[in-house]
Amino acid sequence: MSRSGWVRRCLPLAIVAFALRSSPLFAHDLWIEPTTFSSEPGQWVGVRLRVGQDLLGDPLPRDASLVNQFVFEDATGRKPVVGRDGVDPAGFLRSDLPGLLVIGYHSHPSAVELSAEKFNRYLREEGLETIAALRARRHETEASARELFSRCAKSLVLSGSPNAAQGDRPLGFPLELVAERNPYTLGADEELPLRLTYEDRPLAGALVVAMNRSNPAERLAVRTDDGGRVRFRLRLDGMWLIKAVHMVPAVAGSHAEWASFWASLTFERQPKIVQTH
C-alpha cells in the first residue's frame, strides 16, 4: 500500500489533538524491551513498550486505539501478541519452537504540533536536514509544524540455541530496520549488517543510530548507502537499540504538514555464544 493510501486509511484512527503543543510520546524513542531476550521453547515472554531517551524509558501500557499491528513471527509464521488494555507489559507471547522470534509493534499515526524552535531542533537531532532545507525553501523555518508520527518497533528474542540460518524477517512496516545477520551468532569482532526500508524499498541517506544500555551516550551513527544498508561493529555486550527516523510531506487533507515514521530494533549481545548448525 502506498504512503498516501496508508495515511488515508489510518487517519480516522489518528489522535488529532493539535491543540496540544507537546506529547509524552513524541520526540522520544519508542522501543520494545522484552522481559527476556533469551527464552526457552514454550516459555511465556512479556513484551514491554518503552518510550524515552537514551534507553531510559517509561512504560507504555497497551492501548488498542494506538495499535495497528502487534505481532511476532516464529518458524511457523505470524501470530498476535496477546494482552489487555492498560497493562504493562503491553503483551505476551509464547513459541513452542526454537529459533529467532521477531516481535513487531506498529502504531497508528498520532498528531502533534510543535513550535518552530522545538521542531527545528528535532530535525537536527534526528538527521533530517533535507526536511529543514525544504522548510527553508518554503520560508517556514520560523513557523510551527503539525505532524503525524507513527512507530515501527521491532525486537529479536532468541528461543533456545542460536542458529545462523535463522534470522530477522521484514514485517512490512512503513519504515523498517532488518538485521541481515542473526545478532546472536556474531563473533566479538564481526559487524552486524542492517537494511533500512521505506514502503518496502531501500532508503538511502538516512541516519541510523546504535546505542548500548551500558553507555547510551556513546552512540554509533552512520548514513545508509544507496542500498539502504549500514554496518555496525557492536563491541559491548548487553541490550542494543538501533533506530532511524524518516519524514515526508503529509498527504493533502491530513491536517498536517509532515508525516514521520520512527523505526527501532532491539536485541541483546550475549557473551560466549555457541553457534549451532
Is 218 part of a structural domain of the chain? no
Is 14 part of a structural domain of the chain? yes
Average pLDDT of every residue of the chain: 90
- Dihedral class, residue 235 (left if φ above 0, else alpha if ψ from -120 to 50, else beta): alpha
Residue 3: φ, ψ to 5°: -60, -45
User: Coil, helix or strand for 135?
Assistant: helix
Encode pLDDT of 207-238 as tens digits: 999 999 999 999 999 999 999 999 999 989 99
Residues 152 and 100: beta-carbon distance below 8 Å: no
User: Coil, helix or strand for 88?
Assistant: coil
- Would you place residue 10 in the very low, low, confident or very high pLDDT band (cuts 50, 70, 90)? very low
Enclosing domain of residue 57: 3-161+241-269
Is 139 part of a structural domain of the chain? yes
Q: Which residue has the higher pLDDT, 277 or 59?
A: 59
Write down the pLDDT at residue 189. 85
Q: Output the CA angle 229-213-97, nearest 5 degrees.
A: 70
Closest CA to 250 of 145, 127, 176: 145
- Cα separations (Å) of 204 from 7, 112, 117, 195, 246? 22, 27, 27, 10, 11
Query: Per the structure block, which three cell numbers stand in for 161?
Result: 540455541
Is 21 part of a structural domain of the chain? yes
Write down the pLDDT at residue 273. 46
Is 235 part of a structural domain of the chain? no
Query: Per the structure block, which three cell numbers stand in for 261?
Result: 515514521
Indicate the number of domains in the chain. Answer: 1
Is 226 part of a structural domain of the chain? no
Is 83 part of a structural domain of the chain? yes
Is 189 part of a structural domain of the chain? no
> Position 13: which residue type?
L
Encode pLDDT of 56-107 as tens digits: 999 999 999 999 999 999 999 999 999 999 999 999 999 999 999 999 999 9
